[in-house]
Structure formats: structure tokens, C-alpha cells
Amino acid sequence: MPPSHALSSIARKFGTTVEWILTGMDERAEKGADRGALKGEPSPKEKLEQDFTYIPQVSGRISAGKGFAPENSIEMRVAFRKEWIARKGSAKDMVLIKVSGDSMEPTLLNGDLVLVDRGRNYLEPQGGVYAIALDDVIMIKRVQPTGDRVRIISDNKMYEPFEVAADQVKVNGKVIWFARELER
């Protein structure tokens, strides 16, 4: 069998073209299609959109200390696997923000990136780490409901826990994940 026939046979078998086998390009690839598209498979961009969701990271920081209001402008979007996010909640309710301060050390450090599920804007009976607002000041704290009161706890033992009436605490969301740079 002449080489050109062999290449044609191979190209047909793999759903591509002889030109692509020889050069890695063909007229369809130059027009935006890739090898997968020639075989009817999703393009790399389509595959990313199928497998990943993009969670916004808002600019500013959320306090792990005395508190302040973060900015709400989107700095960038970070990719997470759709199936993982779906197990945690709804992607539309998720937001990423950087931590500022030391009151949640050693759990969360200054500069850590936290994923907050704003759909979980209620306190679970067992408590947890939440983004909360007290008097319009937003902070990340370990929060434990105690009947009609809420115990606000800093993981850093240098800060004393305190209690407030449950109706004084606005829960903005539960912290469900964090990331940390090893070199800053």
C-alpha cells in the first residue's frame, strides 16, 4: 500500500486528516476547530466549560480580627470542578475572598483565600467558621449558637471569645474551603 493510502486510512480511522497527521494543522483547525472537534469531541474550551465552574474572587479582604467591609468588585474568577462545587452547594452562591488579620490563626492565616457559601446564611446547630456581620462590620469567626445567644470565637487564643444576642448576628455565609500560598 502506498504511504499516501496508509495515511488516508489512518486519518479516516481516527477522524482526522492527512494534513493534520503530517503537520498538526489543517484547514478546519486553522478556522478554530481542533483535532477533537474533527472527531466530534468537544474542544478544549468546551471541555473546560463542561467540567469546571468559575467562582468570583472579590477584591479587598475579610477580617479575621476586628472586622471591616470587603469590596464587592470581582478581581478574578477561580476554576473549581463542577461536581465538587455541586456537592457543597450552588456555584451562584459561592464567593472567594482573602483573609486579613491573625485572629483565626492557626486555622486561617493572613492572606489565605476562603470560599464562602452565601447560600448557607444560617447557623448550623454544630456551628462552624462563618463570614458574619456584627453592626455592619464583616468578619470571619468560629460561631457557635447557644440558644438565644451566639458565641463568637477566634481560634487565636490571644483573643477572648464573646457572646451576643442571636438577632445581632447576620450570617453572610459559611466558609467551606481555603487555600494558602506557601511563599508570599
Per-residue pLDDT tens for 135-160?
Answer: 878 899 999 999 999 999 999 999 99
Q: Which residue has the higher pLDDT, 55 or 23?
A: 55
pLDDT at 9: 78
Q: What is the Cα 132 distance to its own chain's centre?
A: 19
In degrees, to the nearest 5, what angle opens at C-alpha 58 toward C-alphas 122 and 160?
A: 50
CATH of domain 51-179: 2.10.109.10
pTM of structure:
0.72
- Preceding peptide of 161 cis, ω within 30°: no
More confident site: 131 or 36: 131
Residue written as grid cell 474550551 = 45
The confidence score (pLDDT) of residue 8 equals 78
Bridge partners for 117 per DSSP: 94, 174
> Which residues of the chain does CATH 2.10.109.10 include?
51-179
- Tens-digit pLDDT profile for residues 93-106: 999 999 999 999 99
Average pLDDT over residues 158-165: 96
C-alpha cell at 52: 469546571
- Residue 125: asked if its preceding bond is cis (omega within 30°), the reply is no
